């Protein structure tokens, strides 16, 4: 079975996988990824990049990449920035700057801008909401069930401010309107709302797609995207084959206007492994 599975990869176009983390590659509640380890190993053997595209911070994603044995580029904080290990591509990555061991393209607003905007809105309009910047590490642990060390990584925001909103949808729409007037936007993740600049996962995916195309001239790309939440929709709209991972509630996020969308039967990482296996064996 393994030879057949790997043979499919080699016979296809250059395959690239973009994937969300929470509720997709890792379990929504336990944050474990045991069910995908064998699939990730086979993808690495087949030289298939697995690009994490998450609302999580750079520090969080780096920890998962190490645990998963991944060394591919990644997209942090809902498309806030693209991080490419410097040895990834032969040709120059236009628009990227060197930062440490990465080539980086920042697409989002700096964290201070986002934090200050949310603070002003809360003070001016009396919104009942709590941002990450207002939470202690212990409170982050309470709301996420993360271990303390991981909660510290989650607090290292650079391009987004997650927050809890305790009012009705009409008030949320009003908040969105006020922030749009400042060039900012709100997206919905699995646990929090996220305040960002005019960036999203889809814009970052499109940039990386073009970069891979430039470095694989003469080879067609086949891109797969996997996600489970509303903030994954822009990513899924910018790949050849979007895959909606089932939520633990039994429901799926809705992706309109795309006949090629695939839906996993299982939730979380089990659904991730099931979907990749199905695609690359077909």
Which residue among 3, 20, 27, 34 is the active-site one? 20
Pair 82, 122 in one domain = no
Q: How many independent structural domains does the chain possess?
A: 2
Pair 87, 192 in one domain = no
CATH, residue 17: 3.40.50.1000
Out of 196, 215, 246, a domain closes at: 196
Pair 165, 266 in one domain = no
Pair 155, 258 in one domain = no
Out of 151, 181, 196, a domain closes at: 196
Percent helix, strand, coil in the chain, to 5, is: 40, 20, 40
Cα separations in angstroms, 112 against 82, 83, 134, 197: 19, 20, 13, 12
Encode pLDDT of 13-53 as tens digits.
789 999 999 999 999 999 999 999 999 999 999 999 999 99
Pair 16, 100 in one domain = yes
* Position 282 confidence tier, pLDDT thresholds 50, 70, 90: low
Count the alpha carbons within 13 Å of 141 in the hemisphere toward its beta carbon. 8
Asked if 112 is an active-site residue, the reply is no
Encode pLDDT of 170-225 as tens digits.
999 999 999 999 999 998 887 899 999 999 999 999 999 999 999 888 888 999 99
Structural domain of residue 126, as residue ranges? 111-196
Pair 72, 119 in one domain = no
Pair 206, 183 in one domain = no
Pair 49, 158 in one domain = no
pTM for this predicted structure = 0.90
* Residue reference for tokens 């920035």: 81
Count the alpha carbons within 13 Å of 258 in the hemisphere toward its beta carbon. 18
Pair 86, 117 in one domain = no
Pair 252, 266 in one domain = yes
Pair 192, 78 in one domain = no
Pair 207, 154 in one domain = no
């Amino acid at each position: 079975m393994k030879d057949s599975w790997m043979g499919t990869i080699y016979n296809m176009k250059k395959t690239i996988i973009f994937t969300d983390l929470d509720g997709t590659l890792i379990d929504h509640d336990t944050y474990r990824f045991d069910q995908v380890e064998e699939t990730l190993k086979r993808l690495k053997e087949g030289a298939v990049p697995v690009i994490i595209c998450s609302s999580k911070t750079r520090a969080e994603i780096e920890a998962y990449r190490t645990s998963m044995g991944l060394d591919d580029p990644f997209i942090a904080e809902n498309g806030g920035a693209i991080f490419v290990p410097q040895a990834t591509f032969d040709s120059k990555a236009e628009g990227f700057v060197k930062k440490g061991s990465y080539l980086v393209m920042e697409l989002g607003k700096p964290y201070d801008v986002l934090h200050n905007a949310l603070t002003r809105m809360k003070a001016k309009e009396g919104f009942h909401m709590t941002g990450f910047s207002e939470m202690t590490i212990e409170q982050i642990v309470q709301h996420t069930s993360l271990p303390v060390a991981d909660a510290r990584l989650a607090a290292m925001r650079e391009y987004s401010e997650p927050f809890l909103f305790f009012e009705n949808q009409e008030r949320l729409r009003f908040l969105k309107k006020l922030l749009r007037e400042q060039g900012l936007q709100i997206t919905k993740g699995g646990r929090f709302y996220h305040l960002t600049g005019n960036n999203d996962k889809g814009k970052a995916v499109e940039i990386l797609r073009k970069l891979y195309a430039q470095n694989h001239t003469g080879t067609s790309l086949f891109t797969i995207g996997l996600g489970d939440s509303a903030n994954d929709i822009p990513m899924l709209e910018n790949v050849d084959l979007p895959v909606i991972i089932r939520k633990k509630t039994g429901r799926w996020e809705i992706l309109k206007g795309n006949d090629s969308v695939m839906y996993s039967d299982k939730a979380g990482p089990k659904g991730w492994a099931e979907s990749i296996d199905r695609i690359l064996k077909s």
